């Protein structure tokens, strides 16, 4: 399936290569490298955080890292130049937003919030 931007440019997917005009592909490959670096940066931040956490919180953070790597594979597997040009040209928190919108992350967050409430009630009680 080609993206509307690629379709307008008359591009067709070719095997395992990125689809788009030569200029689009060159531009998109640069963006794709930046996107991968952003995934690396966010992963490094989560790994750094995990090293400082107790077991339960570290397990949550490691689960988030699994989500992040799945999102990376999904994004980096896209072969339409227009996708990177349109959706990733301005990288501004998209990686974190992709994680935060994931249903599995929402479960992790809910469970973490419930543990906090339970812990606070125990201290008061």
Encode pLDDT of 21-49 as tens digits: 999 999 999 999 999 999 999 999 999 99
**Cβ atoms of residues 90 and 96 within 8 Å:** no
Bridge partners of residue 80, in order along the sequence: 19
107 is in which domain, residue-wise?
4-124
pTM of the predicted structure, to 2 decimals: 0.79
How many domains would you assign to the chain? 1
Per-residue tens of pLDDT for the chain, all 125 residues? 444 433 333 343 444 689 999 999 999 999 999 999 999 999 999 999 999 999 989 999 999 999 999 999 999 999 999 999 999 999 989 999 999 999 999 999 999 888 888 888 888 87
In the prediction, which pLDDT does 17 show?
Answer: 87
**Which of 41, 57, 19, 16 has its CA nearest to residue 92?**
41
In the prediction, which pLDDT does 16 show?
Answer: 60
């Amino acid at each position: 399936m080609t993206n509307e931007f690629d379709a307008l440019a008359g591009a067709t997917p070719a095997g395992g290569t990125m689809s788009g005009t030569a200029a689009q592909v060159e531009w998109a490959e640069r963006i794709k490298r930046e996107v991968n670096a952003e995934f690396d940066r966010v992963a490094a931040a989560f790994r750094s955080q995990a090293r400082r956490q107790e077991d339960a919180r570290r397990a949550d953070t490691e689960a988030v890292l699994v989500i992040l790597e799945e999102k990376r594979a999904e994004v980096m597997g896209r072969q339409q130049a227009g996708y990177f040009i349109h959706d990733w040209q301005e990288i501004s928190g998209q990686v974190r937003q992709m994680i935060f919108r994931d249903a599995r992350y929402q479960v992790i967050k809910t469970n973490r919030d419930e543990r906090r409430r339970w812990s606070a009630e125990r201290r008061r009680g």
